[in-house]
Structure 1
Amino acid sequence: MILTNARIVLPNEIIKGTLVINEGVITQIDQGNVSLPTALDCENGYLTAGMIELHTDNMEKHFTPRPGVNWPAIQAFKVHDAQMVSAGITSVFDAISVGDVIEGSERLNNLSRMVEALNESRDRGLTRADHFLHLRCEVSHKDTLANFHALLEQTNVQLVSVMDHSPGQRQFANIEKYREYYQGKYKLSNAEMEAFITRQLDDSQRYSAQFREAICDTCHNRHIPLASHDDATIDHIEESHHFNMVIAEFPTTEKAAKAAHEKGMSVLMGAPNVVRGGSHSGNIAAHELASAGVLDILSSDYYPASLLESAFKIARLEDNDYDIPKAMNLVSLNPAKAVGLHDRGLIDLGCKADLIWSSAKEDHVHIEQVWKNGQRAF
C-alpha cells in the first residue's frame, strides 16, 4: 500500500511525502509525492502513528448500558473496540477496576465478564485494535488483593495502577468535591453520605498500605509495569518512586507532576481535561503541566474521541513548546515507551503500519481513515 500527498508526522518533524507499507509494516518513507494510480491521495492531510491508550474505562459502560441491564459480553466488547478504532486508537490498555468505592457495584459484578470478553474477542480475531489488560487496583477495598491475585492466575496482565479514592486526599483533597461527585453519582442522602465517608476512611486506613505494598511486590516479581494514581504531594511521589512506578497517572498538583518528572516517571493526564480546559475535580489542568514542560502522556480516560483532539489542541496553545510532532508523541511514542512497546507509536521503518489519516477542519481535527497493521480498520 502506498499513501502519498500527506503531511507525515515523525517524532521530531513533519515532512510532505509518501509512505509505503508491506506486510503490515512501514518499509519506505520518502519526501515528495507519487502519481501512481494505486497510491492513495491523502489530500495534504496529516498522517500520524496510531494512538496508544494506557488508561480507559470506556469498556465498562457498554457492559451495563443502563442500571440492571447486562449486555451480552462479546457484543459489548466489540462496540467498545469499534469506538476506540474510530477515534484513531489502535492499541488499547483496557483499565478494569479491581475493587470499588461502593459494595455490589456493576464494575465488580462485570469484572470476570470483561476479562473473559477481552480474551475471547482477541483469541477469535474479533478486534480491530490490539487490546491489553490494565488492572486498576483500588487498594482501600477489602476484596482487592484477593481479586488481583485471582486475575493474575486467570489472564495476562500488562499494566497495573494503584489507586486510593478515599476522601480528603489525592483526587479528592477537596472534601466538598468528593461530596458533590459521589452524592450525585449514587443519589445518597446527607446521612448516607456521611456514613459513606466514614466507611471509606476506615477502609483506607485498614487496607491501603498493606495492599499497595503486596501488589507492587507481585508486579516487580512478574515484571509488570506499575503506575501511581492521583499523586498530590511530594511524599506521594517519593512513595511511588520507592515502588519503582514508571507512570504517574493524573497527578493533581503541579508540584507532584514536576517531582514525578524529575524522578523519571512519565506524567499522564486526561485528554478530556485538555478538551474541557480543566479538571472536573478542581485539580491541576493538563495544559498547565504542558506549559511547565512536564506533560508526557495523554489518556482518553472516559471519552475516546478526546485523545486526538487533545493532542492538536495542546499543539495550538501558545503558552508551551509542544508543536504537532511533540504533541502527537503524547498519544503515541511516549505511552509506547512507558510500557515497553517498541514496535509501534511512531512512523519509522520497520514499525507497525498503525496509522491515522486526519484533516484539519478549522479548529477541529477530523479522522478520514485508520489502518491497523496496514489494513483498513476505519
Structure 2
Amino acid sequence: MPAEQIFTNARVVTATDVFTGTVAVLDGMIHDVSHSRSSLPQAEDLEGDYLMPGLIELHTDNLEKYMNPRPGVDWPSESAVLAHDAQVISAGITTVFDALSIGDVNPKGNRLQQLPIMLNAITRAQSQGHTRAEHRLHLRCELSHAKTLDVFHDLVESPLVQLVSVMDHSPGQRQFVKMEKYREYYQGKYHLSDADMEAFIEQQLDNSRQYSDRYRRSIVQECHDRSLSVASHDDATLAHAQESADYGMSIAEFPTTVEAAEASHRLGLKVLMGAPNIVRGGSHSGNVAAADLASQGVLDILSSDYYPSSLLQAAQKLSDQDVGYDVPSAVSTISLSPAQAAGLHDRGEIRVGLRADLLRVRSCEKQWVVRHVWRSGTRVF
C-alpha cells in the first residue's frame, strides 16, 4: 500500500479560511484536512509556512520567449518547452494553459509557422513525462486575420486544447480605442515606418470588417459543440459584455474599462486581469488598473500573462491592500476561480477528494516565496 503523506504545522489556505493544521495525501489525492497538528513521526513539519493549492494559469505567452529568445533565433522546441516548464513550476503553477496565438498581425512575424511546432513539442514533452506542471492549451484566435478559422480547425483537434479566446486587435476599439496607443505599440514593436504604419492600419481595419463577426460566430459555436471554455478579450463597453454573455462565454479576459468589467461580472463571466497589472500598479497600455476592479469586487481571476512569478506576487499584494481580498480570496483568484472557469473540477483548492497539487510558501518581508511544489502528491520542486 502507498504511504500516506502528512504535512503538519502548516498555515493551510482553503477557499474560505487560513488555519494552522494538517493535510494528509493518499494516492495523489487530498485524504484529510484537520485543524490539529499531527504527532506522527512520518509527518513533515512545514514550520508554519503556508500550504496553498497549486496555482492555475489560464493565459501565458511565456513559452514564446524560449522559442525565440532573440530576434531571428529559433531555439530547439522541446528544450524551449522544458525551460518554460521549469520556470512555471518554480512559480508554483501546477496547471498551465500555454497560449498559442492564431492569426499573427505582425507583418514580419512567423507565429503561424511556429504553431504546429509548439503544439507538437508540448504534446511530446508531456506524453513522455518530462514536464513537471500539467500543460493544457489555450488557443488565442485573432479574428481579424484571413487564416484564423482554418488554423483553428486544424489545432482544435488536439486533446490538450481546453480553452479558446476570441479577440480583435484592429485599431480604434477595445484595447486600442486610443489610436495614439495603437500606433505607439505596433509601430514600436514592429519597427514600421510612418507609411508602413498607415498601410498596416488600413489592412487591419479591412480584415476586421471582412472576418471578425463571421469567425467569432463559427469559432464559439464549435467550442460549445466540443465543451471547451470560451473567453472574450478586451471588452470595453456594455454592448461588448452583453455580446460575450449572449455567446455563452465563461471568462472575460482583460476588460479595458470598469463599465465592461462590472457588466461581465454581473452577467456571470469570470473577470480575468493580468497579475503584472497588480504588481506594477497599472496597465502598460493605458487601460483600467486591475486594482480598481478589485476595489469594486469584480476581479475574479489573475493571469501571469508574460511573467510567471507575478501570479503569486500579485495575490500577495491583493491580500495586503485594502481592496476587500483576504488571503483565501486572493489565493482563489489564482487557483479555484481559474479552475472553475476552465472546467477543471478536480483541483484548485485544498479540500478532501481533490488532487494534491500543493505549494509550500514562506512569507519573507511581504514577499511570498515558493519553497516546495507537489503535483498529485509527487514533489516536483
Shorter-chain TM-score bucket reads over 0.9
Percent pairwise identity: 56
**2:139 alignment partner in structure 1:** 135
Name the amino acid aligned to 1:354: D
Corresponding residue number in structure 1 for 2:24: 20
* Contact persistence 1:64–1:106 (CA under 8 A): no
Pair 1:366-2:369 in alignment: yes
Query: Of the candidates 255, 277, 280, which is equivalent to residue 276 of structure 1?
Result: 280
Q: Tell me, what secondary structure is at the counterpart of 1:260?
A: helix
**Aligned positions of 1:154-303 closer than 5 A:** 154-303=158-307
Secondary structure of residue in 1 paired with 2:156? helix
DSSP 3-state at the match of 2:9: strand
* Partners of 1:184 and 1:290 in 2: CA distance: 31
Equivalent AA in structure 1 for residue 210 of structure 2: R
| Counterpart AA for 2:152 | F
- 1:303-318 correspondence to structure 2 within 5 Å: 303-318=307-322
Distance (whole Å) between structure 1 residues aligned to residue 47 and residue 157 of structure 2: 49
The AA in structure 1 aligned to 2:337 is N
**Structure 2 counterpart of 1:202, which letter?**
D
- Say if 2:337 is the partner of 1:334: yes
From 68, 75, 79, give the equivalent of 1:75.
79
Find the partner of 2:349 among 310, 329, 346: 346
Question: How far apart, in 2, do the equivalents of 1:5 and 1:201 lie?
Answer: 59
Q: Note the alpha carbon deviations across 1:25-54, whole angstroms, 9 max, x for none.
A: 111112222344422221111110001111
Shift in Å, 1:111: 0.5
Q: 1:321 pairs with 304, 319, 324, which one?
A: 324
Paired residue secondary structure (1:366): strand
Q: Relative to structure 1, is the Cα distance of residues 154 and 29 closer, same or farther in structure 2, using a 3 angstrom cutoff?
A: closer
The Cα shift of 1:106 comes to 3.0
Deviation at 1:301, TM superposition (A): 0.5
Q: Is the 8 A contact 1:6 1:43 kept in 2?
A: yes
Q: Judging changes above 3 Å, is the alpha-carbon distance between structure 1 residues 297 and 154 closer, same or farther for their aligned structure 2 residues? A: closer
| Number of residue pairs aligned between Structure 1 and Structure 2 | 377
Structure 1 consecutive aligned stretches of length 4 or more whose deviation exceeds 4 Å = none
Specify the code of the residue in structure 1 equivalent to 2:22.
T
Which letter maps to 1:20? A
Cα pair 1:65 1:71 within 8 Å, conserved? yes
**CA spacing shift, 1:170–1:207, aligned 2, 3 Å:** same
Residue 104 of structure 1: how far off its partner (Å): 4.8
Report deviation, 1:156.
Answer: 4.2
For residue 376 of structure 1, what is the amino acid of its counterpart?
R
Aligned to 2:64: 60
How far did residue 176 of structure 1 move?
A: 1.0
Partners of 2:174 and 2:34 in 1: CA distance: 48
What per-residue deviation string (whole Å, max 9, x for no partner) do you get for residues 54-89 of structure 1? 111111111111122211111111111111110000
Deviation for aligned residue 1:331: 0.5
| C-alpha displacement of 1:298 | 0.5
1:116 lines up with 2:123 in the alignment: no
Q: Which residue of 2 aligns with 1:105?
A: 109
Which runs of 5 or more residues in structure 2 are unaligned? none
TM-score, normalising length: structure 1: 0.97
How far apart are 1:154 and its partner, in Å?
Answer: 4.8
Cα deviation per residue 1:308-340 (whole Å; 9 max; x = unaligned)? 01011011111x211000111100011111111
Structure 1 residue aligned with 2:54: 50
In 1, Cα distance between the equivalents of 2:201 and 2:151?
24
Query: How far apart are the structure 1 equivalents of 2:296 and 2:350?
Result: 27
C-alpha distance in 1 between matches for 2:18 and 2:137: 33
